[in-house]
Chains A and B, each alone.
Chain A
């Protein structure tokens, strides 16, 4: 990015207009993208979470979402495993604790704000963008509603307004990006009464997380979920039990989503470049074959014609010859006959005269 462009964007940002910094497409290139350097994030320490649903409540308020059927104080909601939906950016779920069966584990779910988001690389109108602040934001003004982002997200986060007719949107946590730009904390982080959520620079959060694991090795699993999953996420988790046990997939791998598809995309120019050459070649070969076949055929035909011609001529000549011979013979025969007749007549006349 050139200095002037940087300046321009900063200027735009100053004007309060910049929500989108991550405009460059990394997906189809071979370059490795390590995320924006000062990206922010949230560390969710599930060992501290008490399942009070304060974060859900706060999220609902700061984002002006519709009130849920049951109030946020109602903890019986936790008995069922839920996911985010079109009216909920975040949910807290309760899981059995294999270590201490008496104390269930609570985990908050929301968009993990991937460093290289699958949703953004999947969207065919660039509706999703990774901002340099860390949030992955969505622009409803270009979204077509194909829902490929939902297919792509490895964490099953984006939800959709299936009941809207004219303006259905994809819905997910924004990391409170508008609040971040105002210098405020995300609503959920601010509301958490036990500091199970920590907001900060992702780098610093990783340090904090490592420090906690080092200090209390018996309390934590030695794994910061989100550090490398799918190439890393802005939202990080510390757990006391295996992440899999509290509904977090451990088989996602560390390949960022855009890298998964870059191979398939890279084939496109090759096909577009090579196919015409190949196909025209195939056409030329078949044309040439046809041409040769046609030439051969023509040759064969003319040869056959010539052969028949000579044969016919010969036959004709023979026939003529024969006819001529026959004619001659006929004439001779006639002449002979006439001569004989004439001779016989003369003889008869001679006899009469003699008589």
Chain B
């Protein structure tokens, strides 16, 4: 790319740089940079409240656990479209893949802040594999899936760059990549839950069950669907001008279809959650403080949006569906935080509980901002919401 082209892309002379968006991003980036320096000169204790009882905090609980679940839109959408023949959702695949790719890339990026020796992150795969560890499985699958997502996303980038040949080669792999992506997602989405199966004494019995892996996997499906709806409605608002007719035409059907699907899966999820309580006979715990919190999660953030989705898709009520998707997304975040932080070490006195450090919150916001900026850049330059004119009908 020539220098002027770069300039054109990054500094558009026709637009002022000092937009509120740019200013906010700039401030966040600056703070993020300072926190980064603090983290890599002062150690984890400089920017986190992690301690020996809470080795995992906001970065694992939110950035990793919730992040991976919310990035599940990639595998759910591409599976629906390419494997289950819902071709009418085709135009949703690219935005979903892009969101997933950025999501996973950020998960891996933020892991570099969290682990003690980030340059050793390839060790488990290439140097000293600890195959008895569920974390090994998570690491391996996430690494492979990030590669798959990169390849799936790359067709859009290659179209933008005009590298037709390479693009067509990768495009031919779509089916294989999709199947591979679903396998990898099944494995790591569930193993993220299974990570906690090793600590029965630490996780509150209402959240700890042998089914944790199943719960994480099933909930990742409706998390992904909801995220596609949620992200789609935001994109509609901000990137409407980038969308072609096919995308716009298909979008409403997609929202209705996904809402209906999410509603079904969530109903199933509620059933298996109840089975989980019954199997461990934990009914009596529902009356405790943690029990009420558990019910808030299950009724307020699963049953309620499940119902809203059902009504919304029946009545074609898009604003209701949007609301349901927001509640579901929040619910997934809540669930992942419950398992990894809130119901974890539940027996510890309040004074020993973990509360995130401002630095952890700051860096989390930093990560999200990077994601938004990258998303914005890509959708304004690459064929995400529209088909590239050179590749029409190639689908």
Q: Given the complex, which residues of A lie within 8 Å of B195, measured CB to CB?
A: 148, 151
Question: Are A268 and B187 in contact (CB-based, < 8 A)?
Answer: yes
Question: Are A122 and B52 in contact (CB-based, < 8 A)?
Answer: no
Q: Given the complex, which residues of B lie within 8 Å of A126, measured CB to CB?
A: 128-130
Contact among A27, A162, A268 with B45 in the assembled complex (CB-CB below 8 Å): A162
Contact among A84, A144, A251, A257 with B124 in the assembled complex (CB-CB below 8 Å): A144
Question: Are A271 and B132 in contact (CB-based, < 8 A)?
Answer: no
Identify the closest chain B residue to A120 (Cβ): B132
The reply on B22 being an interface residue by CB < 8 A is no
Q: Taking A160-B52, A163-B43, A275-B182 as contacts, is the C-beta distance between A122 and B135 under 8 angstroms?
A: yes
Question: Are A28 and B135 in contact (CB-based, < 8 A)?
Answer: no
The reply on A168 being an interface residue by CB < 8 A is yes
Question: Are B136 and A124 in contact (CB-based, < 8 A)?
Answer: yes
Q: Taking A151-B55, A279-B83 as contacts, is the C-beta distance between A167 and B197 under 8 angstroms?
A: no
Size of interface on B: residues with Cβ below 8 Å to A: 61
Question: Are A251 and B201 in contact (CB-based, < 8 A)?
Answer: yes
In the complex, how many angstroms separate the beta carbon of A253 from the nearest chain B beta carbon? 7
The reply on A15 being an interface residue by CB < 8 A is no
Identify the closest chain A residue to B349 (Cβ): A81
Identify the closest chain A residue to B175 (Cβ): A283
Q: Given the complex, which residues of B lie within 8 Å of A150, measured CB to CB?
A: 52, 55
A-B contact pairs, 5 of them (CB 8 A): A145-B120, A151-B202, A165-B43, A272-B187, A282-B84
Question: Are A271 and B187 in contact (CB-based, < 8 A)?
Answer: yes
Q: Taking A147-B56, A268-B187, A272-B187 as contacts, is the C-beta distance between A168 and B135 under 8 angstroms?
A: no
Q: Taking A268-B187, A283-B175 as contacts, is the C-beta distance between A143 and B42 under 8 angstroms?
A: no
Within 8 A of B (CB), among A303-342: none
Chain A residues within 8 Å of B, Cβ to Cβ: 25-28, 83-86, 118, 120-127, 142-148, 150-152, 154, 156, 158-168, 249, 251-253, 257-258, 260-261, 263-265, 267-268, 271-272, 275-276, 279-280, 282-283, 285-287, 289-290
Question: Are A264 and B202 in contact (CB-based, < 8 A)?
Answer: no
Question: Are A165 and B191 in contact (CB-based, < 8 A)?
Answer: no
The reply on B200 being an interface residue by CB < 8 A is yes
Q: Given the complex, which residues of A lie within 8 Å of B194, measured CB to CB?
A: 261, 264
In the complex, how many angstroms separate the beta carbon of A109 from the nearest chain B beta carbon? 12
| A253 CA / B57 CA spacing, docked (Å) | 27
Question: Are A279 and B55 in contact (CB-based, < 8 A)?
Answer: no
Which of A118, A124, A168, A263 has its CB near the most chain B CB atoms (within 10 A)? A124
Question: Are A125 and B84 in contact (CB-based, < 8 A)?
Answer: no
Q: What are the 9 A-B residue pairs with the smallest beta carbon separation, nearest first? A: A145-B116, A286-B85, A27-B132, A147-B55, A264-B194, A150-B55, A168-B116, A124-B136, A162-B45
Contact among A160, A165, A168, A283 with B83 in the assembled complex (CB-CB below 8 Å): A283
Q: Given the complex, which residues of B lie within 8 Å of A258, measured CB to CB?
A: 132
The reply on B50 being an interface residue by CB < 8 A is yes
Question: Are B191 and A264 in contact (CB-based, < 8 A)?
Answer: yes
Question: Are B133 and A122 in contact (CB-based, < 8 A)?
Answer: yes
Q: Given the complex, which residues of A lie within 8 Å of B40, measured CB to CB?
A: 165
Contact among A124, A260, A264 with B130 in the assembled complex (CB-CB below 8 Å): A124
Question: Are A118 and B198 in contact (CB-based, < 8 A)?
Answer: yes
Q: Given the complex, which residues of B lie within 8 Å of A147, measured CB to CB?
A: 50, 55-56, 115-116
Q: Kindly supply a per-residue 1/0 record for chain B positions 184-216, scoring 1 wherever the CB is within 8 Å of any chain A CB and 0 otherwise.
A: 001100110011111111100000001001000
Q: Given the complex, which residues of B lie within 8 Å of A154, measured CB to CB?
A: 199-202
